[in-house]
């Protein structure tokens, strides 16, 4: 967790819009007796807008049309998350989950360390900048901890991945466990001076002749390609004895791929004209397509399947809590936002 700077005060006041003299909170909904207020909603709206990283310039938008649109977009999801959080935290408290003094101190120490806050005064100032008290911080941390423990113990601990599920995932996602062939080459470049778009017959002939002469020194004279590349190549790869790769075969140009596939390890190509000059390529090695076995891929498969099952099972768990809850709506617009958010959640495509 890292402390962040609040939005400009004018923006906050425009969103919150609570008169200084107002004391009584407007209750929007009761969930099993616990209340969710107008201020609770506004705080979440501010946080969501800030997270989007697209603050609204109120001066250029005096009628708040852009702000209203942004709030209409984010409020349905906010209400779903708020109600679900209340239900999960309530369940956690039923199970006896709390944040101990020792745990709270440990979290605070970590926050101070991550933010390089050395004194209590600095920490209090940082909290004030976030419009938080120490009690607010503890309450937020405890709610987060309780929600995590409920999900872990009530949902995740009961999820497993069967052999049949693993096999089905493997068979339908085989590409995820297949590695394309790779190729490692060495190059030696004989640069041809001048504009490559303008034919200079003399320079072309000289460059090609030199490249052919170097190739003969390797193929018939027995000289070491790697040594020659480090001595006479005009390419920057000269510093690495001409080494290129390993490269995925799928990333090669069609022409280069065709050339490489016609070669065996140790072969040196005929001179190849490039925009830089004449290039000699030596094939160091090429690997075959490799596909992990089911057993080799099992850990990755389990993570994928578990993640998908976790999302589905947690949604079922939340639906169960909602069905068992007594939810008393005090504001029709907020109720509609919640219903819209629930509808979006059901129709959202699976990841």
Mean pLDDT of 283-291: 89
Between 258 and 52, name the one with better pLDDT.
Answer: 258
Query: Is residue 176 domain-resident?
Result: no
Backbone angles phi, psi at 179, to 5 degrees: -105, 130
Note the pLDDT tens digit of each residue in 173-229.
Answer: 998 898 888 999 999 999 988 766 667 788 888 999 999 999 999 999 999 999 999
Residue showing tokens 């390993």: 246
Mean pLDDT of 54-59: 53
* β-bridge pairing 277-286 and 27-31: unpaired
Looking up residue 190, the CATH number of its domain turns out to be: 3.10.50.40
Residue 200 DSSP class: -
Is the pLDDT confidence value at 106 over 70? yes
Is the pLDDT confidence value at 350 over 50? no
Residue at which a domain ends, from 288, 316, 337: 288
* Predicted pLDDT of residue 54: 61
Q: Are residues 62 and 88 in the same domain?
A: yes
3-state secondary structure of 349: coil
- Rounded to a whole number, what is the distance in angstroms from the first to the last CA of the chain? 26
| Sheet of 27-31, strands arranged across | 34-37, 27-31, 327-329
Note the pLDDT tens digit of each residue in 244-268.
Answer: 989 988 888 888 889 988 999 999 9
Q: Are residues 21 and 116 in the same domain?
A: yes
Query: Is residue 47 domain-resident?
Result: yes
Look up the domain containing 40 and give its range.
9-161+305-347
Q: Are residues 314 and 251 in the same domain?
A: no
Q: Are residues 201 and 334 in the same domain?
A: no
* β-bridge pairing 243-248 and 272-273: unpaired
Q: Are residues 284 and 331 in the same domain?
A: no
User: What is the Cα–Cα distance from 148 to 157, expressed in whole angstroms?
Assistant: 12
DSSP string for 119-185: SHHHHHHHHHHTT--HHHHHHHHHHHHHHHHHIIIIIGGG----HHHHHHHHHHTGGGGEE--EEEE
Query: Is residue 4 domain-resident?
Result: no
Q: Are residues 122 and 203 in the same domain?
A: no
Number of domains in the chain: 2
* pTM passes above 0.75: no
Q: Are residues 280 and 157 in the same domain?
A: no
Q: Are residues 148 and 45 in the same domain?
A: yes
Is the pLDDT confidence value at 50 over 60? yes
Q: Are residues 16 and 115 in the same domain?
A: yes
Query: Is residue 140 domain-resident?
Result: yes
Q: What torsion do the CA atoms of 244, 246, 251, 255 make, to the nearest 10 degrees?
A: 50
Contact 286, 182 (CB under 8 A): yes
Looking up residue 309, the CATH number of its domain turns out to be: 1.10.4030.10
Q: Are residues 39 and 130 in the same domain?
A: yes
pLDDT > 90: percent of the chain: 53
* Predicted pLDDT of residue 10: 31
User: What is the Cα–Cα distance from 28 to 42, expressed in whole angstroms?
Assistant: 11
Query: Is residue 172 domain-resident?
Result: no
273 DSSP β-pair partners: 278
Query: Is residue 52 domain-resident?
Result: yes
Q: Are residues 46 and 108 in the same domain?
A: yes
Query: Is residue 319 domain-resident?
Result: yes
Q: Are residues 228 and 311 in the same domain?
A: no
The contacts of residue 276 (CB under 8 Å, 6+ apart) are 189, 191, 192, 196, 234, 235
Contact 187, 244 (CB under 8 A): yes
The contacts of residue 164 (CB under 8 Å, 6+ apart) are none
Query: Is residue 1 domain-resident?
Result: no
Is the pLDDT confidence value at 57 over 90? no
3-state secondary structure of 326: coil
């Amino acid at each position: 967790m890292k402390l962040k700077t609040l939005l400009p005060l004018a923006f906050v006041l425009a969103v919150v819009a609570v008169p200084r003299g107002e004391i009584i909170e407007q209750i929007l909904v009761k969930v099993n007796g616990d209340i969710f207020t107008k201020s609770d909603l506004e705080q979440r709206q501010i946080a969501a807008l800030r997270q989007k990283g697209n603050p609204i310039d109120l001066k250029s938008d005096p009628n708040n049309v852009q702000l209203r649109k942004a709030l209409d977009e984010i409020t349905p999801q906010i209400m779903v998350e708020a109600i679900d959080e209340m239900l999960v935290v309530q369940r956690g408290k039923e199970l006896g989950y709390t944040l101990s003094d020792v745990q709270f101190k440990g979290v605070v120490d970590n926050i101070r360390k991550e933010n390089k806050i050395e004194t209590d005064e600095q920490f209090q100032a940082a909290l004030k900048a976030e419009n938080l008290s120490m009690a607010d911080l503890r309450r937020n941390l405890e709610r987060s901890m309780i929600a995590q423990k409920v999900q872990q113990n009530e949902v995740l601990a009961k999820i497993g991945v069967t052999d049949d599920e693993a096999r089905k995932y493997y068979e339908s996602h085989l590409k995820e466990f297949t590695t394309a062939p790779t190729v490692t080459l060495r190059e030696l470049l004989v640069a041809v001076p001048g504009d490559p778009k303008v034919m200079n017959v003399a320079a072309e002939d000289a460059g090609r002749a030199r490249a052919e002469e170097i190739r003969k020194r390797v193929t018939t004279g027995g000289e070491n390609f790697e040594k020659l590349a480090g001595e006479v190549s005009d390419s920057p790869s000269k510093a690495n004895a001409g080494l290129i790769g390993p490269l995925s075969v799928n990333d090669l140009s069609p022409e280069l791929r065709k050339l490489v596939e016609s070669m065996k390890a140790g072969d040196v190509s005929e001179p190849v004209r490039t925009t830089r000059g004449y290039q000699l390529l030596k094939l160091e090695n090429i690997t075959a397509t490799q596909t992990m076995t089911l057993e080799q891929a099992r850990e990755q498969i389990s993570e994928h399947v578990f993640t998908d099952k976790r999302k589905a099972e947690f949604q079922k768990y939340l639906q169960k809590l909602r069905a068992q809850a007594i939810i008393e709506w005090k504001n029709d617009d907020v109720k509609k936002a919640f219903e819209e958010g629930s509808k979006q959640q059901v129709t959202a495509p699976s990841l």
